[in-house]
A and B are shown apart, each in its own frame.
Chain A
Amino acid sequence: MLPFQAYQRAFTAHLRDPKRHDKPDGVNDQRMRIYREVVFNNFLASVRACFPVLSQVLGKRRFGKLVRACFYAQPFASPLFADIPKTFVDYLQTGTMPSADVPAFAAQLAHYEWVELALSRQIETLDDATNSTQIATPDGLRPCVLQLPVVHRLLHYDYPVQCISKKNAHPAPEATFLLVYRTPDYQVRFIQLNVITFQLLQQLQTQTATALDHLTTLTQSLPHLPAASIIEFGLQTLHTLHQQQALTVKSIDPISPAA
């Protein structure tokens, strides 16, 4: 280490955690205070901007403590500013927060809040030549091979993260399924799903088949329910998603019996 680097090390250690690391020897403390405030407040602001709900639920003091802990405990490998919120989520997911008063849902709520940013910035890896074919009725979807938008995620949380707010800051655990996706005009939308629709969309994501074939497969995993009803409700659900631009028509199977 070069001599000036020992000074730098003391300088940044103090900025990351002033309580544990003294400022470098011989440095004016009043001036150092500017760095203590500016550097952490800038970092705090770039984290807080992405997590409005979590920061409100925790309140200024607890959220600030959590961000401070992240600032000195977590590695920051990316020079890109948009990666700061992701690093905060990573930190919460390590579960190593020193503060006992961080609620159990914090990491999942933070992830849910971060996903909006992540999808809004995601680069399309596939050609986003979305088929704009509109199918007017649920039955019209039977021969259609449907696909989720190029930019989307299917999410499963243990808490109803989308319902958490300052007024609802103590949610009971509840399996929660969400589809989040980006529309062609760059809006990021969230749709809450029931577990069956969640599984149907997972299946649709991994296997190429018509809507009718997918729903027929689904009837086999739900033998206690009447197959005709599953198909009818399933087509209605898929059609609602189609109208919300969450499902597009990839192709139409010519040999399927059109309804």
Chain B
Amino acid sequence: MAQQSDICGAGLGLKREWLPQLKQQHGQPSLERLQFLEIAPENWIQAGGKYAAELDWLSQHYPIACHGLCLSLGGPDPLNVGFLKQLKQFLADFEIPLYTEHLSYCSDTTNGYIYDLLPIPFTQDAVSYVAQRIRQTQDILERRIAVENASFYVAAPIADMDEISFINAVLSEADCDLHLDINNVYVNSVNFGFEPYAFLNQLPAERIVYGHMAGHLQVEHNVLVDTHGESIIDPVWQLLSHAYDHLGVFPTLLERDTNIPPLASLMQEVNRIADLQQTMPPKSQQIRRKVA
């Protein structure tokens, strides 16, 4: 049975376009430092035929992490228990040790799923509501989950706290882990004018089990859109380095969802994550070990 510790080092969010390259280059030095892959369960649950064959190959050759998109932890409609049961089976079938979701919502009561990540207003009633749904999810899945800090563009006028307070309150009330998206911290810090280093310093290091890195698109001087379609910019690399230094090293994955280059060129960014992890002083490695 796979363990959460199998998800370690540097990983890459799978795009099906890369499958032929992955199969061809697997075991070669070019992919040496790619230690795990991530998939969205909403793309692979109930997939037969060639998709099932692909998933079999993937799960036999790489540890796999699951990063969900549609659980809608902050959504107004009841949690989709049928889907959670399917998910539980899926995680068991493919021995997937880590499942994370977004601190956001993607559904409404009028039409159901809207299939995109929308910002939960940072209010006290939302904290309790979301925390209860995370607990329910952990109960059904019979495992801990991690929730990811989401990127967003619109500040809710009804908010009664800031993002860091909201995240910390949810983590504590739900008693779940944190999936830290470094690019999202950066994107939000530009979009809402806060200090990203101070934000990182306030996160609970002991709850961080997983990280994401990605590129974004600058549309105005103070507006960044989290496209996952560009190279990672230096300020985001510096934030990752700061996070490793202050919070400890955690398994970190590169996301690339649009404007997709060949695998070999993306491996430069994966390798850079691995380099950064290895150059961290022993102290930050130890922080992780204590909580693993």
Contacts and interface: CB of A to CB of B under 8 A. Distances in A.
A3 B123 contact: yes
B25 to A, nearest CB: 22
A193 B83 CA distance: 39
A189 interface: no
B43 A35 contact: no
Interface stretch (B46-54, B92-100, B133-141, B267-275): B46-54
Contacts of B113: 76-79
B116 A28 contact: no
Contact of A75 (B49, B51, B112, B191): B112
B60 interface: no
A84 interface: yes
A73 B45 CA distance: 26
Interface stretch (A98-106, A119-127, A170-178, A200-208): A119-127
B154 interface: yes
Interface of A is mostly: helix
A46 B125 contact: no
A186 B225 contact: no
Interface string A12-42: 1101100000001111100110110011001
Contact of A26 (B47, B48, B52, B157): B157
Contact of B153 (A8, A34, A120, A186): A34
B233 interface: no
Interface stretch (B30-38, B102-110, B206-214, B280-288): B102-110
Given A28-B154, A151-B49, A81 B115 contact: yes
A72 interface: yes
A150 to B, nearest CB: 10
Q: Which of A13, A34, A182 neighbours the largest number of chain B CB atoms within 10 Å of its CB?
A: A34
A13 B114 contact: no
A250 B40 CA distance: 38
Contact of B83 (A24, A75, A79, A151): A79
A9 B49 contact: no
A79 B42 contact: yes
Contacts of A9: 76, 108-110
B120 interface: yes
Contacts of A12: 108, 110-111, 114, 118
A233 interface: no
A124 B157 CA distance: 50
Given A79-B42, A121-B47, A25 B108 contact: no
Contacts of A31: 153-155, 191, 223
A82 interface: yes
Interface string B125-137: 1100100000000
Report the interface size class on chain B: 35 or more
B48 A123 contact: yes
A5 B75 CA distance: 8
A87 B46 CA distance: 16
Contacts of A42: 115-116
A129 interface: no
Given A81-B115, A121-B47, A4 B123 contact: yes
Given A8-B108, A80-B46, A122-B48, A46 B115 contact: yes
A81 B43 CA distance: 6
Contact of B116 (A1, A2, A43): A43
Contact of A82 (B43, B72, B105, B191): B43
A243 interface: no
A1 B76 contact: yes
A199 interface: no
A124 B223 contact: no
B49 A4 contact: no
B40 to A, nearest CB: 8
B9 interface: no
19 contacts: A2-B126, A8-B121, A9-B76, A15-B118, A16-B108, A16-B111, A25-B157, A26-B157, A28-B154, A35-B154, A39-B114, A42-B116, A43-B115, A43-B116, A71-B111, A73-B111, A76-B111, A121-B46, A123-B46
Interface of B: 40, 42-43, 45-53, 69-72, 74-76, 80, 83, 105, 108-116, 118, 120-121, 123, 125-126, 129, 153-158, 191, 219, 223, 225
Given A13-B108, A76-B112, A121-B48, 14 more contacts: A4-B126, A4-B129, A7-B156, A8-B105, A9-B109, A12-B114, A28-B155, A35-B118, A35-B154, A77-B112, A81-B40, A81-B43, A81-B115, A121-B51
